[in-house]
Amino acid sequence: MKRILCLICLGLFFSSFAFGGTWKGLNPGVSKKTDVDRVLGSPIKEVIKGERYDYNPNSQDRSRISIKFSKNTQIIESIDIYLKTQYDKSQYREWFELGEPAKKEMDANGNLVEYYLPQKVSLHYTGANASNPVEFFSHFAPAVLEREKVAKPSPQKKVPEQERSVYSKPTPIEPPRVIPEVKMGISYIGIEIQNLTKEVADSVGLTEGAGVLVKSVKPGGPAESAGILPGDVILRFKDTWVTDARILSELVKSTPSGTSSPVYIDRRGKRYHLTLVVGGLKKEDLSLTPTPPPQEIPKSLPPPSQQARVQERQYYVAEAKQALENKDFRKLRRILDEGLPYYPDSAALWSYEGAYYFLYNESGQFSFRREKALMALKKAIQIEPSGKCYVNLGLVYANMFKDYSSALDCYEKAGDYVLSYPRAYYLMAICYEELKYLHLAVSHYEKFLQAAPNDQYAQDARNRLARLR
């Protein structure tokens, strides 16, 4: 069956190139309880009246979903996700591409908590240091970092003296200020920015949260010297994707003046990669630097003279498709490594990333491969929740995790796509057969044969059907 599913997946990925702080579209600090109830359904438990609720995990790998809301506004403060398997810190570093924590503290039970920006993810350990497994992780609102918390270890679990001296009095992080000219401390780049709202994102052909819009550029500043113009969208600064203005402010603040930093921008649908030298100001100059006058965003922008344009999105998608068809996995890896940094919002490239780890045995140990494939396809669905993406994810659950219930859930979410891809009935039938729902397996094999009697897997379906009857 493994060989059959691999062949099916290969064929499906060939046809999946139609055109990733949030979880299931819920954004801490923005989304409200009404949004949560619409996405996850009604809570299954009220933990703290008006503040914390548990929701149905609805997954084989999660044991609990607990969400904390602001009592007054009912805006999400954190989404706590408990996995059935407790992983160590290295696994979360890989999943979320974590750097150094922005803040560390001890919770009321004396367990270590680490907060990471700009990913807006916190890790909650089962002990007082990071050598312990992670009990749960959270997607949190940035405002959480602005609060001073006093650690109150429980009597059952005392915090070692050396740990208390390090973590019990955390240094609060100053909330970033999104102001004209992104400058924090003495580092600045000389621009005025705004978040990509849906309206602004639509006007520049991007998705909401895919970057920040440059509203104006200070004459003679570092950004102008690098070739950045009003109307550009900054996608990435150094090695971090910029999803809102706060992130860019934090990155600039933490970069010493004089540092050369790569910057990736989108200019009217074309992508470029520039090098920007972060500027420095004397402290007394910070309050004296005038705000640049408003600049009209031009309707057409010239290409930056500093560097050549990045290849178009369609180039990477087409090359990845061809490499997969030819089973040239080394070329596929190279194309994905080149394309994904420029187009992290491409569901097609993330689908090919999932195909690479699903099909290529030499891409790592099996446990590593299946986690990478799962993560890639979940990103593809986050960007484009299409029927094709859900069927691909179902294949990974069924073939790599033997999680046939989750696979069936994905196939069901594919919706009307099965009408144009009847082989999905065959895949569902296999899952029902593995779960011993034999009457459902029979009916789905019959649906498959009725819809696609000449499919290459039709004979196998007939053989299975005969055996079940």
Q: Residue 401 pLDDT > 90, yes or no?
A: yes
Which of these three, 167, 197, 212, is where a domain ends? 167
pLDDT value of position 302: 65
pLDDT value of position 273: 82
Residues 97, 61 share a domain:
yes
Q: Which one has a higher pLDDT value, 36 or 299?
A: 36
pLDDT value of position 393: 94
Residue range 326-338, pLDDT digits in tens: 999 999 998 898 8
Question: How big is the chain by its Cα radius of gyration, in Å?
Answer: 25
For 190: left if phi > 0, alpha if psi spans -120 to 50, otherwise beta; the answer is: left
Cβ-contact 264, 236 below 8 angstroms: yes
Residues 161, 49 share a domain:
yes
From the list 255, 214, 246, the residue with the least C-alpha distance to 117 is: 246
Residues 265, 383 share a domain:
no
Helix (H) or strand (E) holding 370: helix 366-383
Average pLDDT over residues 125-154: 72
pLDDT value of position 180: 37
pLDDT value of position 380: 92
CATH number of the domain bearing residue 193: 2.30.42.10
Average pLDDT over residues 239-252: 81
122-126, 144-148, 206-210, 398-402 — which is least confidently predicted? 144-148
Residues 255, 341 share a domain:
no
**Highest mean pLDDT: which range of 124-128, 243-247, 463-467:** 463-467
CATH number of the domain bearing residue 359: 1.25.40.10
Confidence band, pLDDT 50/70/90 cuts, at residue 403: very high
From the list 443, 346, 408, 465, the residue with the least C-alpha distance to 19 is: 346
Q: Residue 187 pLDDT > 80, yes or no?
A: no
Residues 413, 339 share a domain:
yes
In a domain, 443, yes or no: no
> What residues contact 82, with CB distance under 8 A and at least 6 apart?
57, 62, 63, 64, 65, 66, 135, 136
Confidence band, pLDDT 50/70/90 cuts, at residue 376: very high
Can you tell me which residue has the tokens 């394309």? 339
Residues 132, 82 share a domain:
yes
pLDDT value of position 153: 40
pLDDT value of position 267: 82
How far apart are the two ends of the chain, measured CA to CA in Å? 20
pTM of the model: 0.47
Q: Tell me how far apart the alpha carbons of residues 56 and 294 are, in angstroms, rounded to a whole number.
A: 49
Residues 234, 120 share a domain:
no
Q: Residue 39 pLDDT > 50, yes or no?
A: yes
Q: Residue 298 pLDDT > 80, yes or no?
A: no
Instruction: State the average pLDDT for the chain.
Output: 79
pLDDT value of position 294: 52
15-29, 277-291, 296-310 — which is least confidently predicted? 277-291
Residues 230, 256 share a domain:
yes
Residue range 72-129, pLDDT digits in tens: 889 999 999 998 888 888 888 878 888 888 888 877 666 788 998 878 899 999 888 8
Q: Residue 296 pLDDT > 80, yes or no?
A: no
Average pLDDT over residues 278-288: 54
Residues 38, 9 share a domain:
no
Q: Residue 437 pLDDT > 90, yes or no?
A: yes
Q: How far is CA 211 from CA 22, 183, 250, 420, 459, in A?
A: 15, 18, 14, 35, 50
Q: Residue 16 pLDDT > 70, yes or no?
A: no
In a domain, 57, yes or no: yes
In a domain, 291, yes or no: no
pLDDT value of position 306: 58
In a domain, 459, yes or no: no
For residue 320, how many other CB atoms are within 10 A of its CB?
A: 29
% of the chain with per-residue pLDDT over 70? 78
What three-state secondary structure class fits 10? helix
Confidence band, pLDDT 50/70/90 cuts, at residue 155: very low
Query: Torsion over CA of 416, 422, 428 and 430, rounded to 10 degrees?
Result: 180
% of the chain with per-residue pLDDT over 90? 32
What three-state secondary structure class fits 27? coil
pLDDT value of position 297: 62
Q: Tell me how far apart the alpha carbons of residues 204 and 355 are, in angstroms, rounded to a whole number.
A: 30
Half-sphere exposure in the Cβ direction for 178 (13 Å, CA):
13
220-234, 276-290, 362-376, 414-428 — which is least confidently predicted? 276-290
Q: Tell me how far apart the alpha carbons of residues 87 and 389 are, in angstroms, rounded to a whole number.
A: 27
Average pLDDT over residues 170-184: 37
Q: Residue 301 pLDDT > 90, yes or no?
A: no
Which of these three, 286, 304, 330, is where a domain ends? 286
Residues 122, 192 share a domain:
no
Residues 194, 163 share a domain:
no
In a domain, 455, yes or no: no
Phi, psi of 81 (to 5 degrees): -120, 120
Q: Residue 404 pLDDT > 90, yes or no?
A: yes
Q: Residue 323 pLDDT > 90, yes or no?
A: yes
What three-state secondary structure class fits 435? coil
Average pLDDT over residues 219-227: 87
> What residues contact 388, with CB distance under 8 A and at least 6 apart?
12, 15, 16, 18, 351, 414, 417, 421
> What domain range is 377 assigned to?
2-19+312-421
Lay out the sheet containing 52-55: strands in order across. 45-48, 52-55, 62-69, 76-83, 134-140, 121-125, 112-116, 103-106
Confidence band, pLDDT 50/70/90 cuts, at residue 2: very low
Q: Residue 165 pLDDT > 60, yes or no?
A: no
In a domain, 456, yes or no: no
In a domain, 464, yes or no: no
Please state the domain count of the chain. 3
Q: How far is CA 394 from CA 40, 93, 407, in A?
A: 20, 25, 4
Q: Residue 345 pLDDT > 90, yes or no?
A: no
Q: Is the previous residue joined to 118 through a cis bond, with omega within 30 degrees of 0?
A: yes
In a domain, 365, yes or no: yes
pLDDT value of position 375: 93
- Output the furthest CA–CA distance in the chain (Å, rounded): 85
DSSP string for residues in 110-145: S-EEEEETTTTEEEEESSSSTTSPEEEEEEE-GGGG
Residues 156, 39 share a domain:
yes
